[in-house]
Amino acid sequence: MSQALFDKIETEQFRKNVGTFNVGDSVKVHTRVVEGDKERIQIFSGVVLGIRGRGLNQTFTVRRISYGEGVERIFPMHSPRVDKIEVERKGAVRRAKLTYLRKRLGKGATAVKEKELRVVGGKAENVAAAASAAPAPTSAPAPAADAAAAAK
């Protein structure tokens, strides 16, 4: 099989409406489930632990806590069974894989900092980056109660 033919077949299989999400985001993955002669949509929501692969082989892992147990599912990115991917919350993480969340229990297992954004002059800006660039505050004036006590 020639590479050109292989590439043509592969590009036909790509999904156009794949949502943009990153590792650490809380997502809802809507999948089509066939039960007998009926088809329904099943929603799996959780935190994206990692994204691997490229092209049609790209997959992502979503983890959630269900009845006190950690449940992970690996979804193919371009699968026709994945109906849509909704991003509930953007996460601010500094790792490509969040496998350390597997060891955590309770709320700590899903605790990922929320990405803080603010709008400045018509464009979104990361709050953490803006705070580090801001000058250090100078000493504040003394409150009136302290000034009255010092006068005595």
pLDDT in tens, 47-64: 999 999 988 899 999 999
The tokens for 65 are: 């806590």
- Distance in angstroms (rounded) separating the CA atoms of residues 39 and 32: 7
Q: What is the pTM of this model?
A: 0.69
Which residue from 100, 79, 68 is spatially nearest to 18, judged by alpha carbons?
Answer: 79
- Distance in angstroms (rounded) separating the CA atoms of residues 81 and 83: 6
Average pLDDT over residues 69-77: 94
* Domain 2-109 in CATH 3.50.50.60: no
Which residue from 100, 96, 54 is spatially nearest to 76, judged by alpha carbons?
Answer: 54
DSSP letter assigned to residue 114: B
Q: pLDDT above 70 covers what percent of the chain?
A: 74
Q: Are strands 26-35 and 123-126 parallel, antiparallel or unpaired?
A: unpaired
